[in-house]
């Protein structure tokens, strides 16, 4: 499946991962990278980054951990083309995460960010990850929890005025809306042992996200009373505060209350 609603994975406008990220940055992406690096602290060997897009997390891992052999994989050929241009020395492969083109037990770690919500057969994906991980291997990922009780997304899940699920489907291809307990249970069911679960993307991040997708919908011709120019102005004002506050709240608190994101680490025993 290469398109979902209005979303096409080969659309150059939709490609993620162009910008670089460093663990020293003050950003939500840097927090996710730091969680990943912590999970990979004792890993040596080959690491697979699924859903790598234009490759920013592959580049970051190769820079911070040059001892690792990092392989990026994505379904989007245009995204991989950009990844190779930005990182000529990197290794990138076109693949379907639910049918990985690798032999059993060839990776010591697998990681991904914001991928699980896009994959129709995500249980097959988790089973494939378990298959390609070596004994003692590590899975680490970040996934949105857009059905998590207490989150803004859960409050708006049936809203007609702010149909965030429809906006997410049409603009970025989200088809799965998770709760933390569901994700953790599915990882266990795949044959992996959950070692650590921490939470992120608390209320300020969610407010930022809803305003962002409201703006995207209106810019794409979606209905609304407020003029598009005013929507863009409101979004700019909101973004002056919300993205910085989102970083601060995630730095200060990693608990589940009011969270809508999950950093999870599991192992193959």
pLDDT tens, position by position, 197-243: 999 999 999 999 999 999 999 999 999 999 999 999 999 999 999 99
* pLDDT of res. 96: 96
* pLDDT of res. 18: 94
SS (H, E, C) 116-179: HHHCCCHHHHHHHHHHHEEEEEEEEEEEECCCCCCCHHHHCCCCCCCCHHHHHHHHHCCCCCCC
Handedness of CA 166, 171, 175, 180 (dihedral sign): negative
Q: What is the mean pLDDT of residues 16-45?
A: 97
3 pLDDT higher than 80: no
Question: Domain count of the chain?
Answer: 1
The pLDDT confidence band at residue 93, using thresholds 50, 70 and 90, is very high
Prediction pTM value: 0.95
40 pLDDT higher than 80: yes
The pLDDT confidence band at residue 8, using thresholds 50, 70 and 90, is confident
The pLDDT confidence band at residue 13, using thresholds 50, 70 and 90, is confident
Neighbours of 96 (CB within 10 A): 16
What mean pLDDT is reported for the chain?
A: 96
Residue with the two structure tokens 């080969």: 10
* pLDDT of res. 83: 98
CA dist 206 and 212 (Å) reads 10
CA dist 37 and 20 (Å) reads 16
* pLDDT of res. 11: 87
First to last CA, the chain: 33
DSSP 111: E
75 pLDDT higher than 60: yes
1 pLDDT higher than 60: no
100 pLDDT higher than 90: yes
Which CATH number belongs to the domain containing residue 181 in this structure? 3.40.50.150
**SS3 of residue 75 by DSSP:** coil
Query: Domain containing 19: what range?
Result: 3-267
Percent of the chain whose predicted confidence (pLDDT) is above 70: 99
The pLDDT confidence band at residue 164, using thresholds 50, 70 and 90, is very high
Q: What is the mean pLDDT of residues 17-44?
A: 97
* pLDDT of res. 5: 64
Whether residue 22 contacts residue 29, with contact meaning beta carbons closer than 8 Å, is answered with no
Percent of the chain whose predicted confidence (pLDDT) is above 90: 95
* pLDDT of res. 78: 95
């Amino acid at each position: 499946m290469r398109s979902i609603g209005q979303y096409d994975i080969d659309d150059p406008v939709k490609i993620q991962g162009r910008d670089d990220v460093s663990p020293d940055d003050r950003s939500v992406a840097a927090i996710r990278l730091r969680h990943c690096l912590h999970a990979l602290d004792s890993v040596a060997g080959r690491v697979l980054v699924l859903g790598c897009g234009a490759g920013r997390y592959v580049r970051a891992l190769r820079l911070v951990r040059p001892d690792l052999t990092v392989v990026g994989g994505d379904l989007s050929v245009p995204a991989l083309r950009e990844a190779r241009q930005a990182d000529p020395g990197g290794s990138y492969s076109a693949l379907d995460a639910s049918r990985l083109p690798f032999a059993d037990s060839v990776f010591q770690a697998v990681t991904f960010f914001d991928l699980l919500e896009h994959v129709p057969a995500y249980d097959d994906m988790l089973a494939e990850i378990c298959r390609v991980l070596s004994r003692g291997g590590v899975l680490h990922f970040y996934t949105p929890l857009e059905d998590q009780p207490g989150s803004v997304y859960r409050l708006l899940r049936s809203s007609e005025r702010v149909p965030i699920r429809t906006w997410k489907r049409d603009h970025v291809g989200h088809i799965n809306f998770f709760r933390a307990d569901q994700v953790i249970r599915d990882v266990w069911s795949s044959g992996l042992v959950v070692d650590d679960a921490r939470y992120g993307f608390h209320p300020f991040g969610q407010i930022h996200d809803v305003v962002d997708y409201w703006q995207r919908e209106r810019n794409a011709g979606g209905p609304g009373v407020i003029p598009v120019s005013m929507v863009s102005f409101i979004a700019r004002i909101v973004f002056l505060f919300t993205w910085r506050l989102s970083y601060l709240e995630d730095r200060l608190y990693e608990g589940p209350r009011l969270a809508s994101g999950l950093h999870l680490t599991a192992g193959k025993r």
